[in-house]
Chains A and B, each alone.
Chain A
């Protein structure tokens, strides 16, 4: 186990280093001059040259890369070239929206998919199982922003039970912050839940056909006892894999829903930074997200071994 952990950690570090170089190079290829974006259509060439110097854009590429990576290693993500704000502070602010939103979205997704998926799997030859399958297909087809608009119309405009958008800082009003994330999380979770339901269902159907379930039934367990004691743990592996993917994609992929609810999340900041050519902010955000994806993958990998002793043994 320890050797496995160390190799996995080594791969993680190498992947991060490679990612940083790739991200830096790709961002440099973006056409458009950040200084021109800042100074607009009436800027003089002298002013442009001065601002480029001030932004450090006149340094050689390798030097800028080293300065950036060196900063990150010291925990310094740099300063936004456009707004002058420290990037670490910006990321912290956005993460306080995006991380709870992604977690709440995944929670909604689990709450919907696990019970429905198990029922659909257990009763897959019955009407109720078929109905759930059909509903989940419909759910996959619904775009999250459309679900969001419906939820806003019902709960914000008609019922006035929840805000139509915006975000209250956790430090100002924790209940308000939770309320402002509720509708976005539901609209994300509904769609993700529909997807996950199908994975849970097929995992359960597969497990029910396994020999060890038949053996368990043969030694006298009921179907639900067999499922609870032997089935769920085996069914969990594909589901956890999909959950990991969903969690990371919700972190930045929530940008459409962030726009509908005008939430100050990571996705919107990234989009705005690209529009303003705020290179430092783009690099830092993409690097952070890459880091999260790699770490989540690492954790999912480790969790397989906790769920399934056989994988532990072969590693």
Chain B
């Protein structure tokens, strides 16, 4: 009895102190440090060296800048190039540069642009730029004067300027990486230098990254004094950290079912932005049963997108029917979700025609992200309804890269293609889904070289229709970007179409 009394006394104390929660009162407006909770940690500080999206997420636009920037909705806006002209034949970009300096004090000039682009284009560069294809259309980069640089293309390319707003197209100081260092400990990897509104202070691996304001910034000085990215991989820990006041932002909500603790709470704001990324069931077009278009179409007809959207994203996503997303980064988007509406009878009929009247077994490789693992369960039940038995293989990402992506040893896989404007991969027959259609390759080349926006979008739309009618993959949805921030935080990017979490304008009230 006495024990029970003691327990209830303790509980009473806890409950009382809970009501006088100090964190629920708004903080003073003098708060000048922001702590951003991020799921994935960069693998290096060198934004030009590795493909990990987390590097650009933290560092592009905050620490590193490029000639142009992708705004939160996906539009291209000026950055280190305050303006530019394109020659009438569409081959020569002339960029006019701002007057700026790097964090190490050296002046930013046209030489740095030439150095950065030449270095990125060169296949012999160590470490290699993971997006060397961004520069494939470039013929040469020439310095006109200190503040003018000319980029000559082999032919007009629509993708070129867009890609210059991506993470790895950052401008780094001339001479970086050229010092003979013991690879790969190059200076940017541990001591990044850029022109951005924040500069590097410290990186405590598996814990946090700290940036401080660049007081000599060429543009408007950032209102915030300090930016701390905290790396929290566990979704529960992330929520607790925000509730306990240890962080100000949950930058990417991995399980929307957890939004419950923040909705209807005046201390927090839930930001739902534009959709990004393409979650899809990718299929092996070159080998196995999915080589047959009828099997791929059967898979497409078996799928009910709504079940995925509700089951994985709690409704916070838009359905997609081809390899494009309705946001400003892909202006050629056409809605093709009607091409394969769920039709189980049709799916079964197609399987019979393909020679599988009694159904068949397909392998699906699933990486350890919620969308893939949960999506795997939903897919298994939907395909079972039409007679396709799924054999799930749970793999970690390096194994997926090895078996699925490189060796093409798979039937199906659920994957989120996060890079914007990556429809060009359908022109590459060696890409992991093994789709070989010369007509599509030709259309893609034509589209990228077309200067007229309407005609260009039309050409891309033809590609979208073709790959959908060939059922190359079964496209499912594009998740809306979701973030939770403290109510006192303003000018935090609502959408996440840009490669970065830009904090140069954010402030607390």
Residue numbers of A with Cβ under 8 A of B are 31-34, 36-44, 46-47, 50-51, 54-55, 79, 81-86, 90, 93-94, 149, 152-154, 156-160, 163-167, 169, 259-265, 268-269, 272, 274-277
B242 CB to closest chain A CB (Å) equals 9
Q: Mark B200-237, 1 if CB is under 8 A from A, else 0.
A: 00001111100000000000000000000011111011
Question: How far is B208's CA from A51's CA once the two chains are assembled, in angstroms?
Answer: 27
9 closest residue pairs by CB, A with B: A40-B51, A32-B398, A47-B128, A164-B244, A84-B189, A264-B207, A264-B206, A84-B185, A158-B18
Question: How far is B132's CA from A265's CA once the two chains are assembled, in angstroms?
Answer: 36
Q: Say yes or no: B207 contacts A261, CB within 8 Å.
A: no
Q: Say yes or no: A83 contacts B44, CB within 8 Å.
A: yes
Extra contacts, 10 of them, besides A39-B130, A157-B244, A262-B207 (Cβ < 8 A), are A32-B402, A38-B51, A41-B51, A82-B44, A82-B50, A84-B44, A84-B190, A159-B14, A164-B243, A262-B241
Question: How far is B448's CA from A172's CA once the two chains are assembled, in angstroms?
Answer: 53
- 14 pairs, CB–CB < 8 Å, chain A vs chain B: A31-B403, A33-B402, A38-B49, A41-B405, A51-B127, A82-B44, A93-B204, A157-B243, A158-B21, A159-B18, A164-B240, A166-B207, A264-B204, A269-B206
A144 CB to closest chain B CB (Å) equals 14
B161 CB to closest chain A CB (Å) equals 18
Q: How many residues of B contact A (CB 8 A)?
A: 59
Residues of A within 8 Å of B18, CB to CB, are 158-159
Q: Say yes or no: A156 contacts B399, CB within 8 Å.
A: no
Residues of A within 8 Å of B51, CB to CB, are 38-43
Question: How far is B396's CA from A116's CA once the two chains are assembled, in angstroms?
Answer: 44
Let me know if B186 is at the binding interface, CB within 8 A: yes
Question: How far is B133's CA from A84's CA once the two chains are assembled, in angstroms?
Answer: 25
Q: Is the interface of B mostly helix, strand, loop or mixed?
A: loop
Residues of A within 8 Å of B233, CB to CB, are 259, 262
Residues of A within 8 Å of B185, CB to CB, are 79, 84-86
Q: Say yes or no: A261 contacts B237, CB within 8 Å.
A: yes
Q: Say yes or no: B402 contacts A31, CB within 8 Å.
A: yes
Greatest chain B CB density within 10 A among A39, A46, A94 is at A39
Let me know if B245 is at the binding interface, CB within 8 A: yes
Q: Mark B28-53, 1 if CB is under 8 A from A, else 0.
A: 00000000000001011010011110
Q: Say yes or no: A82 contacts B43, CB within 8 Å.
A: yes
Q: Say yes or no: A38 contacts B43, CB within 8 Å.
A: yes
For B184, give its contact among A84, A163, A272, A274 (CB under 8 Å).
A84
Let me know if B401 is at the binding interface, CB within 8 A: yes
Q: Say yes or no: B401 contacts A38, CB within 8 Å.
A: no
Q: Say yes or no: A158 contacts B237, CB within 8 Å.
A: no
Question: How far is B240's CA from A138's CA once the two chains are assembled, in angstroms?
Answer: 26
Residues of B within 8 Å of A274, CB to CB, are 396
Let me know if B23 is at the binding interface, CB within 8 A: yes
Residues of A within 8 Å of B402, CB to CB, are 31-33, 36
Let me know if B246 is at the binding interface, CB within 8 A: yes
Q: Say yes or no: A163 contacts B246, CB within 8 Å.
A: yes
Question: How far is B246's CA from A174's CA once the two chains are assembled, in angstroms?
Answer: 18
Question: How far is B41's CA from A137's CA once the two chains are assembled, in angstroms?
Answer: 39
Nearest chain A residue, comparing its CB with the CB of B261: A157
Q: Contacts A31-B402, A260-B234: A83 and B43 contacting too (C-beta < 8 A)?
A: yes
Nearest chain B residue, comparing its CB with the CB of A81: B184
Q: Mark B1-38, 1 if CB is under 8 A from A, else 0.
A: 00000000000001001100111000000000000000
Question: How far is B206's CA from A54's CA once the two chains are assembled, in angstroms?
Answer: 25
Question: How far is B242's CA from A152's CA once the two chains are assembled, in angstroms?
Answer: 12
Residues of B within 8 Å of A34, CB to CB, are 398
Question: How far is B44's CA from A264's CA once the two chains are assembled, in angstroms?
Answer: 16
B334 CB to closest chain A CB (Å) equals 25
Q: Say yes or no: B240 contacts A93, CB within 8 Å.
A: no
Q: Say yes or no: B17 contacts A47, CB within 8 Å.
A: no
Let me know if B87 is at the binding interface, CB within 8 A: no
Residues of B within 8 Å of A158, CB to CB, are 14, 17-18, 21
Q: Say yes or no: B123 contacts A47, CB within 8 Å.
A: yes
Q: Say yes or no: B399 contacts A157, CB within 8 Å.
A: no
Q: Say yes or no: A260 contacts B236, CB within 8 Å.
A: yes
Nearest chain B residue, comparing its CB with the CB of A272: B206
Q: Contacts A54-B184, A84-B44, A84-B185: A47 and B244 contacting too (C-beta < 8 A)?
A: no
Let me know if B421 is at the binding interface, CB within 8 A: no
Question: How far is B50's CA from A276's CA once the two chains are assembled, in angstroms?
Answer: 12
Greatest chain A CB density within 10 A among B234, B244, B402 is at B244
Let me know if B183 is at the binding interface, CB within 8 A: yes
Among B234-259, those with CB < 8 Å from A are 234, 236-237, 240-241, 243-246
A79 CB to closest chain B CB (Å) equals 6
Q: Say yes or no: A39 contacts B50, CB within 8 Å.
A: yes
Greatest chain B CB density within 10 A among A41, A79, A93, A265 is at A41
Question: How far is B238's CA from A166's CA once the two chains are assembled, in angstroms?
Answer: 11
Residues of A within 8 Å of B52, CB to CB, are 38, 40
Residues of B within 8 Å of A43, CB to CB, are 51, 128, 130
Q: Contacts A83-B189, A158-B21: A42 and B130 contacting too (C-beta < 8 A)?
A: yes
Residues of B within 8 Å of A41, CB to CB, are 51, 401, 405
Q: Say yes or no: B208 contacts A159, CB within 8 Å.
A: no
Q: Say yes or no: B232 contacts A262, CB within 8 Å.
A: yes
